[in-house]
Structure 1
Amino acid sequence: MNTMSNKINTDKAPKPMGLYPHARKVGNLLFLSGVGPRAAGSGSEEANIPGLKYDKNGNYEAFDFEAQCRSVFDNVKVILEESGSSWDKIVDVTTFLTDMKRDFKTYNRVYAEYFKDNQPCRTTVEVNALPSPISIELKCIASID
């Protein structure tokens, strides 16, 4: 983990796709940058996105949105823990989906599993695209001691 002042980065989560930290501590709050489902330590390569596989023509060969949801939640958990916080300290979640009609029902079901006990405030919006061929991204705020 690398902490410069109040910026936090970890090699246990996907690399940021730009010049920004995984998280930033301000007072007793931890603000996470948008987190996607890519594998820990990976860049934007499509091969590093769980549940997504393309054929040689660039068409979906396999698409598993639930796998992307679970991977996003796992990535958020790692960043929280590396930052000195935890899953149960999340107070706000903003979720970006690229296809609300196709994916919201699955997202809501998986979300209910992960947030059964801790029920933070939540906003879910549909976006036209995300910076890599992912279908979900989370931005979270958590408390930190």
Structure 2
Amino acid sequence: MKRVFTKDAPEAIGPYSQGMIVNNLFYSSGQIPLTKEMDIVEGGIEEQTHQVMSNVQAVLKEAGSSLDQVVKTTVFIKDMNQFPQINDVYGQYFSDHQPARSCVEVARLPKDVLIEIEVIALVS
């Protein structure tokens, strides 16, 4: 196993890593809309989703992977009514390559953000 850490994404806010590589798979921790300076992104669900995807890309890059290598995503959202807006932004990152996905509405997310995404990806 190999721990993944990059300064291009927010640090873990607890006793966990940004992600782990096991064999040829990368497992990310959930990424929330924090900047690498640890500030919550201002704005609504679209802005927060873009920041989450930016964080996902940063940890994937550090792991030696990319969005094109993502096998599965899990999306946690605070309000299922925002699913269409989330889906629009998500589709900008996963247009041709469309990994398996689960999406669930949750009661609360860390720091009261609106969205969190975790991924599993192949590592070259």
TM-score category of the 2 structures, normalised to the smaller one: over 0.9
**What residue number does 1:96 align with?**
76
Q: Is the CA contact 1:11–1:41 (under 8 Å) kept in the aligned structure 2?
A: no
**What residue number does 2:94 align with?**
115
**What residue number does 1:72 align with?**
52
Query: How many angstroms apart in 1 are the aligned matches of 2:21 and 2:11?
Result: 18
Say yes or no: does 1:35 pair with 2:35: no
Please point out which of 70, 73, 87 is paired with 2:67: 87
Query: How many angstroms apart in 2 are the aligned matches of 1:111 and 1:40?
Result: 20
AA aligned to 2:41 is P
Q: Is the CA contact 2:67–2:93 (under 8 Å) kept in the aligned structure 1?
A: no
Query: How many angstroms apart in 2 are the aligned matches of 1:10 and 1:114?
Result: 20
Say yes or no: does 1:50 pair with 2:41: yes
**What residue number does 1:59 align with?**
none
**What residue number does 1:13 align with?**
9
Give 1:41 shift.
3.8
Higher relative contact order (CA 8 A, sep 6+): 2
**Normalization by structure 2: what TM-score?**
0.95
- Runs of 4+ with >3 A deviation: none
Task: Tell me the C-alpha RMSD between the 2 structures.
Answer: 1.1
- Percent identity (aligned): 38
Post-superposition CA distance 1:37-63 (Å, at most 9, x none): 100142xxxxx1112xxxxxxxxxxx4
**Normalization by structure 1: what TM-score?**
0.82
Query: How many angstroms apart in 1 are the aligned matches of 2:65 and 2:8?
Result: 15
Post-superposition CA distance 1:27-80 (Å, at most 9, x none): 1100001111100142xxxxx1112xxxxxxxxxxx411000000001100110
Gaps of 5+ in 2: none
